[in-house]
Amino acid sequence: MAPPIKLNLRHLETNSKGYAEFLPLGDIHLGSSGCFVDKVQANIQYCLAKHVYVATMGDLLEMGTKGSVGAGVYEQIMQPQEQIDAMIEMLRPLADAGLLLGMLDGNHEIRPHNTTGIQVTKLMSAALSGKHPVPYLGYSRWNYWYVGGTGYKIYLTHGEGASKKKHTKLKKVLDIAQGVASRADLVCMGHVHDILFEAVRYPDIDPKTKKKVYIKQYACTTGGYHDDEGYVAMKNYEPGLVGSPKIKLFSGKKDIHISM
């Protein structure tokens, strides 16, 4: 199988207010009894109505398997194939409208990959690529999105590891933003099931004017659609905010607004 694309280069349409809106959608865990599927459907309808672009952030599916951690294999209320089929149908209207910019893996989609070699996110993205391409983005991906003539460097990753508290969740995405993705305008990370964001100003020298300038970078965690029972309660994790952040990318002067 071919690997994921190296760079997800896209052109986003600007709305009448001078920006393109982007909603990172992940940590749905479809098939788990704790999944808030109505809230996912409401956000998909919002995106279709307002022409909001979406990239999926991984853990779309619960994918409890015999060897996976926890009791998901017994507790999930849909079988893995039902989860895949239902997720494709949920996302198809976004894909057909040209609003689905790509799909990341999460650790829950990696479960069948680890035991069988089958890449379910790759199969879902292929099934959704018809009228418009829906690239498979792997676990982390660099993106370059034009909004009008303005280009944005965007790093998307599912994330990994445990974080119990707000400040440790935010630290994870800030560490990525100040590490491997330090040249990105925007870094979005899933996995922590919470909506948190921060902006950082980096001093730099403009090579043309030889003057000190500041480069602004934004980092956010991308929420989730799962309750705080089971694993979350057992480990005493702080429950996170349900849903997705809404991100405005402005044309003309580079500017990013994030809201919940």
Point out which residues bind Fe ion (CB under 5 A). 27, 59, 106-107, 191
Measured from the CB atom, the residue of 59 and 185 that comes closer to Fe ion is: 59
Give 1's Cβ-side CA count (13 Å radius).
12
State the minimum distance, in angstroms, from the CB of residue 170 to Fe ion.
Answer: 16
Nearest to Fe ion of 32, 125 (CB atom): 32
C-beta closer to Fe ion: residue 21 or 59: 59
As measured in angstroms, the least distance from the Cβ of 222 to Fe ion is 10
Say how far apart CA 149 and CA 239 lie, in whole Å. Answer: 40
CB of 108 to Fe ion, least distance (A): 6
**DSSP string covering 47-80:** HHHHT-EEEE-S--B----TTSSSSHHHH-SS-H
Residue 64 tokens, joined: 């409890």
List CB contacts of 243: < 8 A, sequence separation 6 or more. Answer: 39, 43, 195, 223, 225, 260
Residue 58 beta carbon to Fe ion: minimum distance, rounded to whole angstroms: 6
Q: Closest distance between Fe ion and the C-beta of residue 27, in Å? A: 4
Q: Give the residue with the Cβ less far from Fe ion, 14 or 222.
A: 222
Which tokens go with 18?
Answer: 């001078």
Chain center to CA of 1? 23
Q: Which residue's C-beta sits nearest to Fe ion?
A: 59
Cβ-based nearer residue to Fe ion, 24 or 106: 106
Q: What is the SS3 assignment for 83?
A: helix
Distance CA 235, CA 4 (A): 34
CB-nearer residue toward Fe ion: 12 or 102: 102
CB of 224 to Fe ion, least distance (A): 6
**Nearest CA to 165 among 230, 221, 249?**
221
